[in-house]
Amino acid sequence: MKARMRTMRPAVLAMTTAMVLSSCGGGGDDAPGTGDTGGAISVFNTEPENPLVPGNTTEFGGSQVMDAMFTGLIDYDQQTTEVKNAAADSITDVDSKVYTVKLKPGWKFHDGTDVLAKNFVDAWNWTAYGPNATQGAPFFSDIQGYDEVNPADPDGKSGPQQAPAPATDKMSGLRVVDDRTFEVTLKSSSPVFKVKLGYEVFAPLPDSFFADKAAFEAKPIGNGPFKFVSRQVGTEVKLTRFDEYTGMDKPKFKDLTFRVYQSREAAYPDLVGNQLDFIEELPPNALAGQQHKTDLGDRVVEGESLMNQTLSFPLYEEKYQNPDLRKAISMAINREEITTRIYEGSRQPADGLVHPLIKGYQKGQCGELCTFNPEKAREHLARSGFTGPLKIISNTDGGHSEWATAAANSIKNTLGIECVFEPATSLGEFRGKINAREMTDMYRAGWVADYPSIENFLNPIYKTGASSNDGEYSNPEVDAKLAAADTAASEEEGIKLYLEAEKLILNDLPFVPLWTQNTIGGKSDRLSSAKLSAFRKLDLTSVEVA
């Protein structure tokens, strides 16, 4: 989201938990046409997994659309990740446990109805309610009363038992004070809670959603800078600018189409030929030999992204429950060779779970477990007793075939057992199988930060029952350490505890850290300006049509 990226330092990216969020200056005074270059643009996308409801949309294809259609209480600066108020006029707290949110006046949904306190409270309760089975529910687990609306599943999503019926459908920790004020009471103090509130699962929903959910899914209504026009599954999602939008991040162009491709390789010729306006990440075949520089010239867009690439193990499958096998696989992958040969050095081998640009990152957390070591890899394999075969599964619409094939070959050649890359179809179908616990082999599991905090690289993925803990990893010692970090008295103490939790997780190795990356994207010559964000997306506010 930046035509020219500056290097982002960890101190800039991190949010201090002591920050007091106060008014950022009303609803914005510029009319939509100020600096408006007009026009329409098209952006690469993968097929959204689910209907476009923010509380149930956490993957890349749906998230891109949600970011354009919805605006939450806060937002993140797309270049520095600094927290700033959006729909919230102020967010104050008592001991980081009781939060009072006051909304700015004048905010509207796309159907013309007011954005009120109850629209946040109702949306959060609906998302958290267990029978709705949303992907975003665990993000509300800090709130008092969550356990009553979402009782724990006794044997996880992959088990035969069902979770108990909830005692209620409303969290006791949410209370509407008046039309523009609501109160959130947490189970215990959590200074990081405020930083989360810009993530899309915390967006409001209009009354019409609760009146007719099916009608909403057919034509979703948000409160963000763009409103829904149409969706053709497998082809595109069309949006247009919402000119009554009162936020500070008004776009300068009118129409936005998210175009679905089966792969980045298929989209790249359209970008080169100016038939597609933006891809946030070029495919490996375009990077090989610096071909993208020849094809695109000054249309190349680069930036650092808060993204980790990993392999995940379905720990509900018996063969992957052996930690020696997982460690053998990790130490059999030659990260240096893959990042150099396939990505021309634009990826950096990972040495932990926390991204290097996040405050609290500590170098070398993974140690030898993330270092290519054929001899020790074979020793771990021998201890595991496993004889093969293995597979790496990934969707093919995200530019992953080359590295997944190379990783499979590295494992095969190092360990002397059969290992192949098995392509899946679209990201939506791929994620559907993951969510249904239908994976029987290891699979790609990249992570892009939802919000700029060390907590976001740990809790949503590794805590028992967490929203993105798709492999069903569980370690009570890790859970206790993460809970202590969440409620630490200071940011510094919290970081120390999060790092201790990271070490515990890495010793279990439920995921294989692979690499972080500098994102290299591209734009058409129709765009005089287009920037990448730290969240590996197009910064829509940066776009100007030539």
Q: Pairing relation of β-strands 255-260 and 40-45?
A: parallel
% of the chain exceeding 70 in pLDDT = 92
CA distances (Å), origin 253, targets 38, 240, 293, 301, 384? 4, 9, 27, 19, 57
Helix (H, G, I), strand (E, B) or coil at 371: coil
How far apart CA 478 and CA 418 sit, in angstroms, is 33
Query: Which pLDDT does position 155 carry in this prediction?
Result: 67
Q: Is the pLDDT of residue 31 over 50?
A: no
Tokens of 438: 């239908």
Q: Mind listing the pLDDT tens digit for each residue in 440-475?
A: 999 999 888 889 899 999 999 999 988 889 999 999
Place of tokens 């074979």: 378
Does residue 295 register a pLDDT over 80?
yes
Residues 533 and 13: their CA atoms lie apart, in Å, by 12
How does DSSP classify residue 197? T
DSSP3 helix / strand / coil % (the chain, rounded to 5): 35, 20, 45
Q: What is the pLDDT of residues 116-168, one digit of tens each?
A: 999 999 999 999 999 999 999 999 999 999 999 999 887 666 667 788 899 99
Question: What percentage of the chain carries pLDDT values higher than 90?
Answer: 74
**For residues 356 and 460, what is the distance between their CA atoms, to the nearest angstrom?**
18
- pLDDT band per the 50, 70, 90 thresholds, residue 417: very high
* Largest CA-CA distance found in the chain, in angstroms, rounded: 67
d(CA 178, CA 533): 36
Please say whether the beta carbons of 263 and 283 come within 8 A.
Answer: yes
Q: What is the mean pLDDT of residues 366-370?
A: 97
Of 47, 56, 51, give the one whose Cα is nearest residue 425: 47
Give me the mean pLDDT over the 307-318 stretch: 95
Which residue, chain included where needed, has tokens 């287009």? 530
State the DSSP string of 70-119.
---SEEE-TTT--EEESSEEEEEEETTTEEEEEEPTT-B-TTS-B--HHH
- How many residues in the chain? 546
